Structure 1
Amino acid sequence: MTAPTVDVHAHVLLPAIEALVAGLPGHEAAKALDARRNGAEALAVSGPMVGERIPKLTDVAVRLAAMDQQGVDVQLVSPSPSHYHYWADEETAEQVYRLANETTAAHCAASPKRLRGLGLVPLQHPDLAVEALDDALGHGLLGVEISSHAPGRELSDPAYEPLWTRAEESGAVLFLHPFGCTLDERLDRWYLSNTVGQPTENAVALSHLIFSGVLDRHPGLKLIAAHGGGYLPTHIGRSDHAWSTRPDAGAGCAHLPSSYLKRLYFDSLVHDPHVLRELIRVAGADRVLLGSDFPFDMGADDPVAALRAARLSEADLDAVRGRNASALLNLTLA
């Protein structure tokens, strides 16, 4: 049977969340930080770019038409990372995740055979994370999207152990998608906040999960790293060398760091066929999934063509194009 073409990296915009947080204490400071991190030139481009894509981000009919044009059968839809709002207090954070889960589920329910969804958890309040994940699953979503860190907390923080435990037990999908980079104003020109910041945050977050032993304690986690895992997969040899030669680097995890890449999943959005081939080499063809970052400008307008450009074997092409995601997401093969 032929597997559907599945895009695991696609976003939905949820205006109700922004209406909810508008004017709340902390919101303006968070927006100011985001502005400093990105710089005025980037914001001047990003605003109109998002504006012209609002129909694709909010209208299911427009989304489906775009998917048809791309040759994509199924999207795994996650909220725009701008909706994380990790600055929010507990009361607001609960309102945000409940609204995000509800509205994302409603968006996907308009075409349940073609759209599957992910919700949100408030990483800034680890005590709420499990109930937020359960809320997402209760709405029929397949899991949740998380950033690379929360203020003052890395993903290696022991406070997240209950979240990893619940995600592993439930079979929930975790989609690791950074928002913002703590290099801050060093990246505030030439859109470095995204081109350098995103892959850096992916590499740091995955390294925390690996070196801290989270993946040893939770080998069944279904975690997809956006942007091909950032810089880590193509530079994993340096991590292996440190683990092998330095007792401080090797103290937290049981195996070579490179071995954990075969326990994770990665989207294919690396913008270079040679990098994609290397990602497949180090992680395995069964661990890479088609991803487009639909519909943003840093995504792939034709993700299947980008995949074909890597000149994979037919078996590997079929796996990455949709067979892997079909198995991970328990999709019925057509």
Structure 2
Amino acid sequence: MNTASLNTVPMRTVDAHAHVILPQVEQAVAGQPGLQEHRELDARRNGPESLAVSGRMVGERIARLTQVPVRLADMDAAGVDVQIVSPSPSHYHYWAGEDLAERVCRLAGEGVAEHCAQAPDRLYGLGLVPLRHPSLMVELLDHALGLGLKGVEISSHAPGRELSDPAYEEFWARAAESGAVVFLHPFGCTLDERLDRFYLSNIVGQPVENAVALSHLIFSGVLDRHPGLKVLAAHGGGYLPTYLGRADHGRRVRPEARGCAAPPSAYLERIWFDSLVYEPGALRALVGAAGASRVVLGSDYPFDMGVEDPVDRLRAAGFDRETRDAIRGGNAAALFDL
């Protein structure tokens, strides 16, 4: 195809933040040692009221989370041409030992690939890697890429490990070398019972976790050592992008905060962010901080903390057409090599 014909191909609208539930993953962990302790921790962090509401919410949306025809109909209604589908973060299971963790990640990657294969022109997927077991991560990243997936999804931390942990260096290097996208999507907040009411575990906890995880990547120099690394932060990067003045100041005045080669704010141009910040003013602030080329459309489909109208919310922000089109699909097409 020549350049002229390429220019006539209409740009597709890409939702880079959408999820699938994979029953085979939950079947694999059922009854395993450690699962009950994990559930008890989850209960302490969320509180009984939020657990009950979340259970009903997922039950009501299970068809949207598992059935491709339902997903495609919802995409059509929202004006979305393409979704990047990642496993529900509830599938991380970072409590699992090595053998079970490897099985979970392989099942997750295969399940996402099978789901996306039902609509290969509209659905692309991400797999999982076990943050608790760095020695397995390169192998499982390669497994996901071998299935045709575009990268992997990770949480903000694993028990005993932050993203600045040197044990992850081989993984970051392989992800950068391969062009894989690493989708940073927190699940659970270590503030625990302080957030166990009013759904603060998600409302406040997820943006906090995004900010902490991204700060570890920045201040530890991970992004300096791996300049080709493609990190996409869910939820607009949480509290980090619009409050980096404090981080820049801290680096200037604190010697222990100088592990990065440049001021922390300079690294926003090395990270991608989804548009899931809800309000037009917040989206304008995110684009002002990170740049129009670093924001992609995101809905968190189909969970209740997501939005059903990501395109309308982008339009409401009042950007010029070039910026709007970049966020609507151009940036994601480049990021995911669509």
Short-chain TM bin = over 0.9
CA distance in 2, matches of 1:178, 1:104: 19
CA contact (8 A) 1:234 1:275 kept: no
Residue 329 of structure 1, aligned match among 310, 327, 336: 336
- TM-superposed CA distance for 1:314, in Å, is 1.1
CA distance in 2, matches of 1:192, 1:312: 31
Please state if 1:270 is matched with 2:291: no
Q: SS at the partner of 2:305?
A: coil
Q: Which residue of 2 aligns with 1:177?
A: 185
- TM-superposed CA distance for 1:275, in Å, is 1.2
- TM-superposed CA distance for 1:198, in Å, is 0.1
- TM-superposed CA distance for 1:244, in Å, is 1.4
Q: Which residue of 2 aligns with 1:291?
A: 298
Q: Deviations over 1:80-114 (max 9, x none)?
A: 00000000000100110110011110000110110
Q: Deviations over 1:280-301 (max 9, x none)?
A: 0111000000000000000011
Q: Which runs of 5+ in 1 are unaligned?
A: none
Q: SS at the partner of 2:255?
A: coil
Residue 43 of structure 2, aligned match among 22, 25, 35: 35
Counterparts of residues 230-241 of structure 1 (less than 5 Å): 230-241=238-249
CA distance in 2, matches of 1:318, 1:245: 40
CA RMSD of aligned residues (A): 0.6
Please state if 1:126 is matched with 2:134: yes
Q: TM-score, normalised by structure 2?
A: 0.97
Q: SS at the partner of 1:145?
A: strand
Counterparts of residues 305-320 of structure 1 (less than 5 Å): 305-320=312-327
CA distance in 2, matches of 1:275, 1:64: 28
Q: Deviations over 1:264-321 (max 9, x none)?
A: 0000001121111111011100000000000000001111011112111111111001
Q: TM-score, normalised by structure 1?
A: 0.98
Q: Which residue of 1 aligns with 2:98?
A: 90
Q: Deviations over 1:234-258 (max 9, x none)?
A: 11110011111221112x1000100
CA distance in 1, matches of 2:95, 2:52: 24
Q: Which residue of 2 aligns with 1:4?
A: 12
Q: Which residue of 2 aligns with 1:194?
A: 202
Q: Which residue of 2 aligns with 1:246?
A: 254
CA distance in 1, matches of 2:247, 2:97: 36
Counterparts of residues 22-61 of structure 1 (less than 5 Å): 22-61=30-69
Please state if 1:71 is matched with 2:79: yes
Q: Which residue of 1 aligns with 2:155?
A: 147
Q: Is 304-313 or 216-225 further displaced after alignment?
A: 304-313
Q: What percentage of aligned pairs have identical amino acids?
A: 70
CA distance in 1, matches of 2:333, 2:146: 21
CA distance in 2, matches of 1:191, 1:313: 36
Q: SS at the partner of 2:224?
A: helix
Please state if 1:256 is matched with 2:263: yes
Q: Which residue of 2 aligns with 1:111?
A: 119
Structure 1's consecutive aligned runs of 4 or more residues displaced over 4 angstroms after TM superposition are: none
Residue 300 of structure 1, aligned match among 280, 301, 307: 307
CA distance in 1, matches of 2:134, 2:234: 22
Q: Which residue of 1 aligns with 2:286?
A: 279
CA distance in 1, matches of 2:152, 2:200: 27
CA distance in 1, matches of 2:201, 2:327: 28
Q: Which runs of 5+ in 2 are unaligned?
A: 1-6
The residue identity in structure 1 corresponding to 2:150 is L
